[in-house]
Amino acid sequence: MDITFLGAALTTTGSMHLIEVGGKMILLDCGLMQGRRKEAFERNRNFPFAADAVDAVILSHAHIDHSGNIPTLVKKGFHGAIYATPATRDLCEIMLSDSAHLQVKDVAFANRKRIEAGKNPFEPLYGPDDVEPAMSLFRPTPYGERIEIADDVFVEFHDAGHLLGSASVVIEAVRGGSRRRLFFTGDMGRRDMPILHDPEVVHDVDVLITESTYGDRSHPPKADVAGRLKGFIDDIVRQRAKLVIPSFSVGRTQELLYYLHELHEQGRIPEVPVYVDSPLSTKATEVYERHVECYDRETVAMLAHGDQPFHFGSVHYVETTEESKALNGKAGPMIIISSSGMCEGGRIVHHLMNTIGDPRNIILFVGYQAENTLGRRIVDGVSPVRMFGEEYEVCARVHTINALSAHADRDELMDYFTEMGPRLDRAFVVHGEQQAAESLAAGLRDLGARSVIIPGPGDKATDVL
């Protein structure tokens, strides 16, 4: 078996690895390289292989940096099976549609300038019509089900505890009486996070491909998230103000709702309206509700008591733009959870424009804010900030909860590898910046792996299994 590391090599975006085994070509993830740089534009449009020569795709989870280039692959002639868990399939349906709309919007923005300059307009990478043909190729494959992808080569998904439906992947080659096992972490989740199972530990791994997003860092101790939320809610109730939470629609929003539900059930917070204001969040919550098989014991117990984790007290899912705008005129107290998570677009920007000038309000960040985003500027204390061409003084109080990362940190990854057992022979460290990857690679060498490699983009490893 040979593996070519095509994406998420020395970076955390565009996860894609090509496996060649028994005359078959298998893609492990088909992620979108994100960012507006020319490199991403070219990379997403041009695969370094013929799309119609690929036999199958194995998809670890629905995040766009792992799944988002599937419609392009299908457009270019891929017609094999896409193996993913049932929840990943359902999340992809809404996330790829959302991504298609963003592709069209992004290109329209760039094209305005190109047309003014007399240049030919760009075509979108893919559009809404390209999603359905891609969805028809999905083969929902539950955790633990064994599929044969080439002669005597089997694939199995295990729960990664990172996002609803997220999987780590075992690829097993059986030769004579012996079995050799490759383990791809996908994005590795964390123990004791709300809603999802803990990552399932897999044993007898010979070859490892691991993510290393936080390979050189430890997360802050799991702070009392519910306690901090309660503090902010008590504050805005007292001041009849608004708590505005920019949040990713898929995953983070459902986690927040889980914590709010818990506080509500325990009678720790007063009755306060919660508005979930993002069409994608509403759809994602519906997918979460359909996939009870992904829930941990606590969430299953909640259901058994007749409680719905995402429907309680005064949670409202805002549908139309008119309803969303109407929130501006309503007096607090209220909680508004809206996207995009980094405030780069979407309804959250309107809520910020409406609330950021009032010192009684609280803006609460619950996720990573990348450089050069509005979210990052607000977190960094920049004031005034620019929204839709107007300057706004930041008078509202700004807080951050950092404890909600969905990626295992260095210690959590190393604990996992230790639990896997001593068989590890070779490891490839991907999905991390250079420093994070190097630090994790050193840890794996200490653990006894004979060969640990940090592949660069396009590097090929031969005779891996």
Residue 308 burial class via C-beta count within 10 angstroms: exposed 0-12, middle 13-18, buried 19 and up: exposed
CB of 389 to Zn ion, least distance (A): 34
Whether the Cβ atoms of residue 356 and residue 388 lie closer than 8 Å to each other: no
Strands annotated E in 187-346:
207-210, 242-246, 274-277, 315-317, 334-338
CB of 211 to Zn ion, least distance (A): 9
Which of 180, 126, 127 lies closest to 152 in space, CA to CA? 180
The rounded distance, in Å, linking the Cα atoms of 304 and 297 is: 10
Q: 3-state class of 270 per DSSP?
A: coil
Bridge partners, 208 (sequence order): 183, 427
| Smaller CB separation from Zn ion, 43 or 63 | 63
CB of 452 to Zn ion, least distance (A): 23
Instruction: Identify the DSSP state of 378.
Output: H
CB of 168 to Zn ion, least distance (A): 12
| Smaller CB separation from Zn ion, 187 or 277 | 187
CB of 370 to Zn ion, least distance (A): 15
Euclidean distance between the first and the last CA atom of the chain, given in angstroms as a whole number? 5
| Smaller CB separation from Zn ion, 68 or 309 | 68
| Smaller CB separation from Zn ion, 15 or 103 | 15
| Smaller CB separation from Zn ion, 82 or 95 | 95
Residues 55, 250, 211: CA angle, nearest 5 degrees: 55
The counts of H helices and E strands in the chain are: 14, 22
- Report in angstroms the alpha-carbon separations of 47 from 7, 56, 252: 11, 15, 31
Q: 3-state class of 178 per DSSP?
A: strand
| Identity at 381, one-letter amino acid code | G
| Smaller CB separation from Zn ion, 90 or 187 | 187
CB of 66 to Zn ion, least distance (A): 6
| Smaller CB separation from Zn ion, 248 or 275 | 248
Chain positions contacting Zn ion, by CB under 5 A? 63, 187
CB of 87 to Zn ion, least distance (A): 13
